[in-house]
Each structure stands twice: as structure tokens, then as C-alpha cells.
Structure 1
Amino acid sequence: MIWVLYLLASFGLAFGIQNKLPFLHGRYNLLDSLLQCPYCLGFWTGWATWGLSWAIHGKPVLHPVEACWWQYPLAGLIWAFASSVVCYVLYVSIVWLEDSLERK
């Protein structure tokens, strides 16, 4: 179940980068595009949390039991896409909740 914590950490990292670091906005067009897309930013924070899990535990999240060298990058890619989906779903859910609370 530790993978749930890493997915939530990925969302927290994406949320923090997107909303709490105003000095990143307005510098580069590519960076602005990335900061406006929760799916895209979730992909990159997924890579970060996957690498962080490897650094902390000595093995990455979603690691194969007896892995060949090529399976680790593939597991990282799968983790990054899973993170992007979770970040997008949580972001859309929060926006929907904020909109519904403002209407009341």
C-alpha cells in the first residue's frame, strides 16, 4: 500500500509546484504550458516520486521481482503515467468541488 502514499506525494508535489510557486510562472512558454496542465505535471512528478522511492527504499515502486535492466525504465514509465492520471483526476475533482461550493 506504500504506492498509494507515493501517488499522493506525487499529487502534492504537482499541486505545490502548480499553485504555490508563483516565481515559476511567466518565465518560459514551455514551462507555463506545463504548469497549466495537471496531467503533464503529474507525469513529471511521477518520475520524481519513482526516483525518490528508489533512493529511499533501494528499489523503485512497482519494481519487478527479478528484473532485467530494461524493466526498470518501463516500470518508471508506467508509474509516471499512473501518477499523471491520479493527478488529473484529483485536480478535476477539487475544481468541481470548489465550483459546487461557490454556487451555494
Structure 2
Amino acid sequence: MKKIIGISLLALSGMASAVAVAQERTHCQTMAQAANAVMMERQKGTPKHQVVQTLKNENAYTGYAKAVVEDAYEQPFFSSAEYKMKRVIQFTNKAYKLCLTTFNQSR
């Protein structure tokens, strides 16, 4: 009986861990989408103060958003569509990776 309970608890522990990982990935995808939107605005040439004001109006100008805006506006602005998209993709991937790394370090 103890063996069955132990195995059941181990299985539940594994399932809880899988759920936590899925939630982390979902959270990081959301964070990456936010970074993508900010960098898209940056590459469109939208002034930084407009992006900040939009985020403030949406009550979304949090610590994370501030950091993303600062980082995005430190990146170069490109004139060709190809380089703009490459920069947006790189920035989005960087945000996603950073988020996942942060979760992995907290375990």
C-alpha cells in the first residue's frame, strides 16, 4: 500500500512539474509577444514617448515593459524591411530565451 501511495505521489509530482513548465512557457510566450510588439513599433519609427504613453494608457507600463522599451530603443533602426524583420525576430527570441532562463534559475 505504501508503495502504491509513493508511486502515486511521484506521478502527481511529475504532472505538477509538467503543468508548471507549460505555464512558464505560456508566460514566456506572452512576454516575447510583448517584446515583439515594442520592437515592431521601434522598427516602424514610432517615437519612444508614444510607445511609453500607449503602455501607460493600457496600465501596462510595468518594470518588464520599461526594460523592454529601453532595450528596444537602444537597438539600431533599420531602413530595409528584411533587416527590420530580422531585428524583430532576434529581439523576440532573446526575450523568450531570457524569460525561460529566468524560470530555470529560480528552480
* Bucket of the pairwise TM-score, normalised by the shorter protein: 0.3 to 0.5
> Which of the pair has more CA radius of gyration?
2
TM-score, normalising length: structure 2? 0.41
Could you state the TM-score of these two structures normalised by the residue count of structure 1? 0.42
- Structure of higher RCO (CA pairs closer than 8 Å, 6+ residues apart): 2
